[in-house]
Amino acid sequence: MKGVGPAKAESLGKELHIFTYEDLLTYYPFRYFDKTKFYTINEINTEDVFIQVKGVITQFQLINTGKVKRLVATLKDPTGSVELVWFQGIAWVQKTLQINTEYIIFGKPTLFNNRYNFSHPEVESIHPEEEKKASHFSPVYYSTEKLKHRGFDTKGIARITKQLFSEINSVDVEEFLPASLIAKYKLVSRYDALFNIHFPSDEALMQQAMRRLKFEELFITQLKILQLKVGRNETVKGYLFEKLDIHFNTFYHEKLSFQLTEAQQRVLKEIRRDTLSGKQMNRLLQGDVGSGKTIVALITTLIAKDNHFQSAVMAPTEILANQHYETFKSMLDGMPVSVKLLTGSVKGKARKIILEELAEGKIDILIGTHALIENHVIFQNLGMVVIDEQHRFGVGQRAKLWQKNEHAPHILVMTATPIPRTLAMTIYGDLDVSVIDQLPPGRKPIQTLHRFDSQRLAVFGFIKKEIALGRQIYIVYPLIEESEKLDYKDLMDGYESIVREFPMPTYHVSILHGKMKPKDKDFEMACFVRGETQIMVATTVIEVGVNVPNASVMIIESAERFGLSQLHQLRGRVGRGADQSYCILMSGVKISHESRQRLKIMCESNDGFEIAEFDLILRGPGAIDGTQQSGATALKIADITKDKQLLQMARDDAKEILALDQRLVLPEHQQLRNYILDTSSQKTIWSKIS
Ligand code: ADP
Ligand code: MG
């Protein structure tokens, strides 16, 4: 392109991944300056929105506090005055702007000392023709420092985009959405949409463009994910689990001490159907904390055993693997099923024996961490893989499972806490989804309270009352890697003050954290499980897995430092018995608005699905564990937290089209197919989930 030499082109590629015309066309502005309207100063009543004001600068004032220097200008119009503030580039501003001259300023007003001010606004002097040119929405693009130095600030990017439009016309921008969809949703053409997303002359055109491009993006993404699924169903054979035999029957009729909930039964039926279909199962099992996913996994491995297949159960941490191992062992006690544990700390001879037995088919269920998928771990006949807490397992790690047997084993993925539907559709869009939407009977909803550090004495009093009733208490401290030392100190200080407040011999306090030797951890845990200690002071090592029904109070220290799903996980450690349980979130008084909101949501809701939705809204898809490389964040314009409805439409339409024309060979799908082929090579492995 004219005006973009090799050096500039290279930095566009490096910094913003713009290599082609198509890339530039789809490098969308993230907002607009609304230059269609001038605000009068007395009309300003919002913060955080970019607006345009016309006025005269009446004075400059240089304020130097020693530490920071700032330049403040007063801008007046007939209705009032505002302040413009600069912290940088002061000399330049003083040189270019003049007193008693009229300017147009763009910026975001903020309220300070009861007055609106604009910090670092864009300022333009008034020329009649400029004013005319400026009477529309002008696009604002993300750029980087490096690019700004090469002339590609927001205006520079707008300039080359505009130039691009002068070189192409509507014929060059091919329409690839099927005509039926365009008609159905009254979508504008691709060319019009691209033009108007960059240079809309009014709000309506911009909205139409946005709707079309969001739909297009979601539709293409869904089409690709679903094609993957369809393709896999066609080409990948699955092992048949035809029989329900002695292992399943013995367990189900003689061992299982409770009745499965309807939701658990329904999920088992779904798994049964999958493993009888001749195709490989790829199923995501979602269920709230405590909804009983483990038992579903266990029964599934017994069905595999009845059909002479081995199973692998993978967990993200050693503690959780251990916990599953203990659960499986005790539930299968007395049955002829061999369950073994393989983690990083199983070494030497013990490890060798496990590997040998595994290869000989003597082990039925192998439970472990990542260690399970190392190349030298060879199964005799692996048929079923359960992955617990999916989101911490990398895509590559899962892909390794495919090489473990002649055909790919069935895969059941279980999430630790629910993930929002929209996110599930985007990252796990190729998996079938089962939901356990029901808790085992007899659970009382946990009462959650937020208390400030200053109310600690009252909280201690409450703990004493609960202990007098025979209950047990968890007190959890955050342990976050970056500040590990400090956190560790907090934990130890906390422990000491708890011991002081709850002295022996009336009380016994356990402590559990990651730095302890496994032996000591086990000891402390066992004391708590047996009820010999009443209080367990711990880090988040107890986040997953621990199951002590008599524990009825969960105190979370510095709760503002935890994410929502982590808080929900922690809270899920209580409320497992018949007693009323409590979760008390402790924090200082000075916490951020977002933290306050998070704690409020926790107090108001016990529903993991609802909490997951809030988490997504508060933090955005990029911040949710494990989704960074997943594609949910690779969306350029659609936002799964806001465009739920469009996403559902796009998914339904993609399904419908594939049902009709799986390979997109019909003439009306020709362009669609080409577009997907053209753009697929750049798309990464994220969609190839299991
Ligand atoms: P999660 O879904 O969080 O992994 P678990 O599988 O650990 O939940 O189950 C939580 C607890 O509920 C366990 O003690 C388990 O034995 C128990 N449980 C599971 N299903 C039922 C049921 N249908 N009836 C009663 N208790 C159940
Ligand atoms: Mg679990």
- Look at ligand 1, atom 24, and give the residue with the nearest C-alpha: 440
pLDDT in tens, 447-457: 999 999 999 99
pLDDT in tens, 217-257: 999 989 988 888 887 777 778 999 999 999 999 999 999 99
Cβ neighbours for 262, distance < 8 A, ≥ 6 positions apart: 438
CA dist., res. 569 & res. 547, Å (int)? 12
Pseudo-torsion of CA 209, 210, 211, 216, nearest 10°? 90
CA of 96 to the centre of ligand 1 (A): 70
616-625 contact pairs (CB < 8 A, 24+): 616/420, 616/422, 616/423, 616/640, 616/641, 617/641, 618/564, 618/594, 619/563, 621/423, 621/426, 624/391, 624/419, 624/423, 624/565, 625/391, 625/392, 625/565
Look at residue 688 in the predicted model and tell me its pLDDT: 37
CA of 417 to the centre of ligand 2 (A): 9
Q: How many CB atoms lie within 10 A of CB 133?
A: 11
- Look at ligand 1, atom 26, and give the residue with the nearest C-alpha: 440
Average pLDDT over residues 475-480: 84
CA of 255 to the centre of ligand 1 (A): 15
CA dist., res. 460 & res. 498, Å (int)? 9
Which residue ranges make up each domain of the chain?
6-167, 246-436, 447-605
The reply to whether 447-605 shares the fold of 246-436 is yes
151 lines ligand 1 (CB under 6 A): no
pLDDT in tens, 456-474: 999 999 999 999 999 999 9
Look at residue 443 in the predicted model and tell me its pLDDT: 85
Q: Residues 384, 305: contact at Cβ < 8 Å?
A: no
Pick 37 or 102 by higher pLDDT. Answer: 102
- Ligand 1, pocket-test mutation among 257, 258, 325, 414, most atoms within 8 A of CB: 258
- Ligand 1, pocket-test mutation among 264, 265, 295, most atoms within 8 A of CB: 295
The token pair at 256 is: 């299982």
The token pair at 526 is: 């066992």
User: Does the 447-605 domain belong in CATH 2.10.25.10?
Assistant: no
CA of 290 to the centre of ligand 2 (A): 7
- Report residue 324 CA to chain centroid gap: 25
Nearest to 559 by CA among 513, 598, 612, 501: 598
Q: Which residues pair with 139 in a beta bridge?
A: 32
Structure letter (DSSP) for residue 237: B
Cβ neighbours for 642, distance < 8 A, ≥ 6 positions apart: none
∠ at Cα 249 (259, 320), nearest 5°? Answer: 65
CA of 293 to the centre of ligand 2 (A): 6
User: Does the 6-167 domain belong in CATH 3.40.50.720?
Assistant: no
Look at residue 687 in the predicted model and tell me its pLDDT: 34
Supply the DSSP string of 57-93, one letter for each residue: EEEEEEEE-SS-EEEEEEEEETTEEEEEEESSSHHHH
Q: Is the pTM of this model over 0.85?
A: no
Say whether 423 sits in a helix, a strand or coil. helix
The token pair at 386 is: 């359960």
Quick check: 80 pLDDT over 60? yes
293 lines ligand 1 (CB under 6 A): yes
Q: What's the Cα-to-Cα distance from 134 to each of 118, 130, 398, 422, 426, rounded to whole Å?
A: 20, 6, 53, 39, 39
290 lines ligand 1 (CB under 6 A): yes
CA dist., res. 658 & res. 359, Å (int)? 41
Q: How many helices (H) and strands (E) does the chain have?
A: 24, 22
Quick check: 71 pLDDT over 50? yes
Q: Terminal CA-to-CA distance of the chain, rounded, Å?
A: 42
CB-based burial label for 289 (10 Å; 0-12, 13-18, 19+): buried
Domain 246-436 is in which class? alpha beta
- Look at ligand 1, atom 20, and give the residue with the nearest C-alpha: 292
Helices of type H across 97-202: 128-133, 145-149, 154-167, 179-185, 190-198
Task: Assign 626 a pLDDT band (cuts: 50, 70, 90).
Answer: very low
CA dist., res. 107 & res. 89, Å (int)? 17
Quick check: 389 pLDDT over 80? no
